[in-house]
Structure 1
Amino acid sequence: MHWDFRTRVLLVVVAVLLSLAASLSAALLAYATGGGGHQAVGWGAGTFVGMMTISLGMLAILLS
C-alpha cells in the first residue's frame, strides 16, 4: 500500500501525542511517589524518548 505524505505526517503526530501522554503519566507517577521535580522531569523525558523510539520504529516498519 502506498502512503501519501499527509497520512505519514498524521501518524507521526499521533506518535508524538501518545509519547507526550505516556511521559506525562510517568512524570506524575514519579512525582506522586515522593520524587522531586527533577526526578519527575527525568522520568518523563526518558519515557518520551523511549516511547518515540518505539513508535517511530513501528511506523518505519509499517510504512516501508
Structure 2
Amino acid sequence: MHWNLRTRVLLVVVAVLLSLTASLSAALLAYVTGGGGLQAVAWGAGTFVGSMTLALGVLTILLF
C-alpha cells in the first residue's frame, strides 16, 4: 500500500503527541513521588526519547 505525505505527517504528529503524553506522565510521577524538579525533567526527557524512538521505529517499518 502506498502512503501519501499527508498520512505520514499525521502519523508522526500522533507519535509525537503520544510520546509527549507519556513523558508528562513520567515527569509528574517522578515529581509526586518525592523527586525534585531536575529529576522530573530527566525522567520526562528519557521517557520522551525512548517512546519517540519506539514509535518512529514502528512507523518506519510500517510505512516504508
TM range (shorter): over 0.9
Correspondences of 1:1-64 after superposition (within 5 Å)? 1-64=1-64
Q: Deviations over 1:7-28 (max 9, x none)?
A: 0000000000000000000000
Q: Structure 1 length normalisation: TM-score?
A: 0.99
Separation in 1, partners of 2:3, 2:31: 40
Q: Which runs of 5+ in 1 are unaligned?
A: none
Instruction: Report the RMSD for the aligned CA atoms in angstroms.
Output: 0.2
* Off by >2 Å, runs of 4+ in structure 1: none
Q: Structure 2 length normalisation: TM-score?
A: 0.99
Give identity over the alignment, percent: 81
Separation in 2, partners of 1:42, 1:15: 20
